[in-house]
Amino acid sequence: MKIFADGSLVGKTAALFDEYAGHDPFAGDGSGRGYLQADADDLRAAIIAAHRSGWQVATHAIGDRAIDLVLDAYTEALTQYPRPDPRHRIEHFAVVQPRQVARAAELGVIAVPQGRFATELGDGMLAAVGPDRHAWLYRQRSLLEAGMVLPGSSDRPVVAGAPLLGIDGMVNRRTSSGAPFNPAEAVTAEQALRAWTWGSAYASRQEHVKGSIAPGMLADLVVLSEDPTAVSPDRIAGLEVLATITGGVPRYEAASLG
């Protein structure tokens, strides 16, 4: 079940604890901190009700204030109505304080960041939050180091949805202007590839049928021109898709193979 807790960073509508960069500090009306999409109590109630009904809940939360609300709701839901392995998610998990990473890991929450956002939206996000919070943006490495599962995600059509572009963004972490985008959170090509395969399957509770090449799995495969874990990182986005197979049936073959 998808629930929206707040808005976006570039639009400055994501719910933050501290004001956006450049906001008039004397406004005094709270408008510089974004906002929640509904009353906080109503959002918590919706999340808890969805959990109680047996759903895997995926809550859109970008700002650190919204993320705290969602983590509180997940904690309350699991306390009131315990159940094993709910795999609740936070979609985007964008402006994340270190304590929130630790708390999400403890709860077994799956954070779903978008690597391609760094490339296409990164300049606007860096400007929106200001340099003091750059290190909190769209964490990846921190999630893995905390023991969390990292999935690959595009949020298409907000940005380009091609997985190779997403992998490129996760590894290279540069904006369209060439500025570094929180490079300390970059992952290796191998980690990014695992995120886009097994990690995404796990996040959608489908790792038993896809996400890895093994007996009994769906034969959903892609053949690339080169190994993305072996080429230089700046070449990942330009790799060619030579063929695709879905359910064991060939679906696409590049003209160069014909």
Residue 25 confidence (pLDDT): 64
Burial of 250 (0-12, 13-18, 19+ CB in 10 A): exposed
Residue 30 confidence (pLDDT): 66
Provide the residue ranges of all domains of the chain, joining segments of one domain with +: 2-212
Are 187 and 171 spatial neighbours (Cβ–Cβ below 8 Å)? yes
Sign of CA dihedral 137, 142, 143, 144: positive
pLDDT digits (tens, 9 = 90+) for 205-229: 999 999 999 999 999 999 999 999 9
Whole-angstrom distance, CA of residue 157 vs CA of residue 50: 26
Q: Is 61 helix (H, G, I), strand (E, B) or coil?
A: strand
Whole-angstrom distance, CA of residue 63 vs CA of residue 50: 22
Q: What CATH number was assigned to the domain covering residues 2-212?
A: 3.20.20.140
pLDDT digits (tens, 9 = 90+) for 172-197: 999 999 999 999 999 999 999 999 99
pTM: 0.94
User: For 22-31, what is the mean pLDDT?
Assistant: 66
Whole-angstrom distance, CA of residue 9 vs CA of residue 31: 14
pLDDT digits (tens, 9 = 90+) for 103-143: 999 999 999 999 999 999 999 999 999 999 999 999 999 99
Residue 142 confidence (pLDDT): 98
User: For 161-181, what is the mean pLDDT?
Assistant: 98
